[in-house]
Structure 1
Amino acid sequence: MRALRYMKRFSLIGLSVCAGCSLKWMILDSRVLASVTEVNNDSSSETMRLKHVQILFRHGARTPLHLTPGIEQATYPANMLIRPAPHTMVNMEFFNKEGIELLPSVPSRYDLHYQKTKLKGGSTSGLLTTYGQDQMYLLGKRLRKEYIDNIQFLDSFDPNLVKLKTTHMKRTKESLRCVLAGFFGAENLNKNGPVRVESNDTRDEYLVPCPNICPVFRQINHSAMIHGSDIAEFNEDRTLLEETLGKKHFSKNRVRFIDCRDDLIARKTHGLPFPEHITPEIIDMVDKNATKLLFYAVCGQHEAERLVATRLSIGRLIQVFLDNIQDVLKGDNKAKMQMYSAHDSTVLPAMSVFGLDVTEWPPFGADLILELYEDNDKNHYVQVKYLGKPQIVRGCDKELCPLDKFLEEISPFAISEDEFQEVCHSNILEVIAKEMLEQEVGEIEDEESKERSDLAPGL
């Protein structure tokens, strides 16, 4: 009965989670506003007051999470690539949502997992590199120019006005540190003691998809991450890639585009060499297919499951975004800015919710910003930016979207914690996606598949 109730709700909304999203996704314009504080609205220019900003960003460049069979490992020398960048050193302390301090000496389960993979040169997988630190520092400098230098939205860092949250992973914490250093200056921040940051060490962090606690989402994630390369649309490219890398490496499992991309993009980002047979065309092909599979993992492979998948992967964060806006309007939220340090598997489904182009993998340091504006008549508008450029969100025809319209279009993707738990433990997939479940008939998960299915994709 629960499944049927959700089916009714989803059918009312339709299957428009990423309207036209069978990977012919709508590519949207990015038309820059004439001025930061003046917005062209219905052919008349009127001053808009910026009231609140929410910033979601992916961490900076890191060492790879996965290695590719058939390619000699790249060398990641720890003494060169993993050195702390002195200009980013900000003192920070981390607390969970109950206010209990998280000790730096206790790594997250994700960091413990990544430490198992040792890389040539002395590094381990998943570490923010010095280059990644500089990427995030420059993002902070850009934000400083936008919100301090240009429009004086902020004067300096005030913990009452700027709220911070990160996933409980070393690279996202360090990325936030670097953004803050670029934004507010490390020396200025350190004058007032450690910066306080929320970072939950629980298994149900809403800043990253959680297949480990949500059986329904785990099934969706498993289908894409474990069986994705068997999908018919990937057959030709998968065969080409396996032949390029050497079929002997894939006698047990198919090549995994996401894992391969992870290795190749880390090399490319850090200027490390590729074997001659890994051509730019091969890299582009891997990137394209991996991006499709990431979308399938976080937003669903089948149209019928797309809304369910998207709500379970990112809906709790969307609910937080919308609650923050409503609390600002009610006067319950005094913060002017809220920042979230997260992952590719956070940014991409959020982009899908807003109706943005999701045919390209969010790069290291990608930022997605929600700005809340108020006009002279107390009307409210939302503007979404991606990589610093204003976007047109779903259901709107201008970059500045009336708040009522924005809420009407985006609210169906939000999900409360209670509803999240209920949907996670329902049988809704049995009703809407029998085809997906048939992929696993008779399957016996090995330890690697089980571990991969329990982990969020990308990251």
Structure 2
Amino acid sequence: MRILAPSLFGALTALGAAQAPPLPEDEATYYCNSAMMWDAPPPRQGDSGAQLTRVVVFGRHGSRAPVFTLPCWPGDETSYTCKTESSFGFVNSRFGGQSPSFKRIRDKRGVNLPSREFRCFWIVEYASDSPYQIPEEPEVMFRSTDVPRVYESAGALAWGMFPELSNDDPFDVMSIIVADKRSDTMIPSATVCPGLDDALDEFYESSEAEERAELRFSECWVSHVCPTVPSSPKTVPPEFDEPLFKIIEREAVYWVNGRYSTTRKLQRLAYGPFIEDLLEDLREPRRRLSVYLGHDLGPPNSVMDTLQLTWMDSGNRCASSWPPFGALLIMEIYTDNQVRFVYNGRVASVEGIGECRGKALCSYEAIVHHLTHIVPSESECRGSRVTHE
């Protein structure tokens, strides 16, 4: 009986686990974000009376699709009804496929978004005397990678927040920072930190790298299965079932992003330049809203991986899954100097900081202190390679 009891307990535990609903990130189609939305952030727990004073948003645009319209496997006749290499406008636009109140204007600041009566969350929080006034820096900051579909998403975001946006007044302009691709820090870049190439060479020679193989079927699977990619027919070979796709996805995430966390050196060189920009942003006391919009894995992963953000309801690392279509990481800063992270509608703890593990809140000072040590020095970033212009 002493032997049977643990076995019976284990069987009951397994039965309960089998009946429990699957976690969102465990579903093969979690990446698709078929609902095209996330749950609203839950209310902050406790009765501290603290108010939300600032929000930093890290968003990822788009769903994966093959760059070239080549067959993914023998007999693949899938056709795409969108231009996979770029994006021209967005869906369901009342302006005929163009972004609302949007115009590309190149100047010293990069790209501007003309947006009429653009107002944000602090109108409610701060009861502005003129709620229709267009917010400007330093109160609000928008930043995007230099990819059309991404900075057009900024216009779509503005329209979603304020349905009355129009093109009536071209002088209503809101700035958005768009860095040149060669100098953008929102995704790991060897042109920003040449030392990253040296560190990656060391990684590729490691035993861990030799034991894993890069698989490239992730884009093929999601482009055939996800409803967020307009393609037909929506069929895949029977061999590509959900368990296999989860393996493919895990390996893809490892090789595209996970490798940067294998050593402290790689983490600093890959994520440090963007973390430095984020810290500079946080030092602006008048800022109320910062929005960072990117593609592929950036910029949410640069923050999630660095802080080891972990969903509190599942215990899974947020960065262990490829950021889904429209991934959204929200950093909430409160008047009591506490910070909360919400990723795709679910609260995440900061496991990278000892005092914050397993908790919904983490002190602002602890987060800034931790992030400061991620920023590489100029000599680290420069590395040993000599570049010639």
Aligning the two structures, in what range does the TM-score lie when normalised by the shorter sequence?
Answer: 0.5 to 0.7
The code of the aligned residue for 1:359 comes to: S
CA contact (8 A) 1:208 1:345 kept: yes
CA contact (8 A) 1:167 1:208 kept: no
From 184, 199, 207, the equivalent of 1:205 is 184
1:389 is aligned to 2:321: no
CA contact (8 A) 2:188 2:270 kept: yes
The equivalences for 1:270-419 within 5 A come to: 270=229, 272-297=234-259, 299-300=260-261, 302=262, 306-328=263-285, 334-346=286-298, 347-356=300-309, 357=317, 358-375=319-336, 380-393=337-350, 394-395=352-353, 396-397=356-357, 398-415=359-376, 419=377
Query: How far apart in 2 are the matches of 1:406 and 1:293?
Result: 27
What's the offset of the Cα at 1:100?
5.3
Query: How far apart in 1 are the matches of 2:143 and 2:83?
Result: 29
Distance 1:233 1:65, change over 3 A: same
Query: How far apart in 2 are the matches of 1:69 and 1:295?
Result: 23
CA contact (8 A) 2:100 2:167 kept: yes
What's the offset of the Cα at 1:96?
6.9
Q: Which has the larger helix fraction?
A: 1
The code of the aligned residue for 1:61 comes to: S
Counterpart secondary structure, 2:183: coil
1:90 is aligned to 2:90: no
Of all paired residues, the percent bearing the same amino acid is: 18
CA contact (8 A) 2:143 2:177 kept: yes
Aligned CA-pair RMSD: 3.8
Which ranges of structure 1 fall in alignment gaps of 5 or more residues? Answer: 1-26, 103-142, 236-255, 329-333, 429-459
Query: How far apart in 2 are the matches of 1:153 and 1:261?
Result: 47
Counterpart secondary structure, 1:52: strand
The code of the aligned residue for 1:35 comes to: P
Counterpart secondary structure, 1:392: strand
The code of the aligned residue for 2:265 comes to: V
What's the offset of the Cα at 1:322?
2.2
CA contact (8 A) 1:95 1:199 kept: no
Distance 1:77 1:228, change over 3 A: farther
Structure 1 counterpart of 2:15: none
The equivalences for 1:71-110 within 5 A come to: 71=74, 72=76, 74-78=78-82, 84-85=90-91, 86-87=93-94, 89-94=99-104, 98-99=108-109
The code of the aligned residue for 1:206 comes to: T
Query: How far apart in 1 are the matches of 2:43 and 2:59?
Result: 24
Give the TM-score normalised by the residue count of structure 1. Answer: 0.58
CA contact (8 A) 1:92 1:196 kept: no
CA contact (8 A) 1:95 1:200 kept: no
Query: How far apart in 2 are the matches of 1:392 and 1:176?
Result: 28
What's the offset of the Cα at 1:366?
0.7
The code of the aligned residue for 2:291 comes to: M
Distance 1:61 1:229, change over 3 A: farther
What's the offset of the Cα at 1:282?
2.4
CA contact (8 A) 1:92 1:195 kept: no
Q: Deviations over 1:307-364 (max 9, x none)?
A: 2222222212222222222321xxxxx2310111113432223211121212211112
1:218 is aligned to 2:197: yes
Q: Deviations over 1:139-179 (max 9, x none)?
A: xxxx98xx479867895652343221101011211222222
Distance 1:231 1:426, change over 3 A: closer
The equivalences for 1:158-307 within 5 A come to: 158-160=135-137, 161-185=139-163, 187-188=164-165, 190-193=167-170, 194-221=173-200, 231-234=209-212, 256-257=214-215, 259-269=216-226, 270=229, 272-297=234-259, 299-300=260-261, 302=262, 306-307=263-264
Query: How far apart in 2 are the matches of 1:291 and 1:79?
Result: 25
Query: How far apart in 2 are the matches of 1:33 and 1:171?
Result: 26
What's the offset of the Cα at 1:263?
2.4
Counterpart secondary structure, 2:136: coil
Counterpart secondary structure, 2:161: helix
Counterpart secondary structure, 2:362: strand
From 46, 70, 75, the equivalent of 2:73 is 70
Give the TM-score normalised by the residue count of structure 2. Answer: 0.67
What's the offset of the Cα at 1:222?
6.4
Distance 1:64 1:202, change over 3 A: closer
Q: Deviations over 1:6-58 (max 9, x none)?
A: xxxxxxxxxxxxxxxxxxxxx9xxxx98735xx42xxxx22112221111110
Which ranges of structure 2 fall in alignment gaps of 5 or more residues? Answer: 1-25, 27-39, 113-118, 310-316
The code of the aligned residue for 1:57 comes to: G
What's the offset of the Cα at 1:84?
3.6
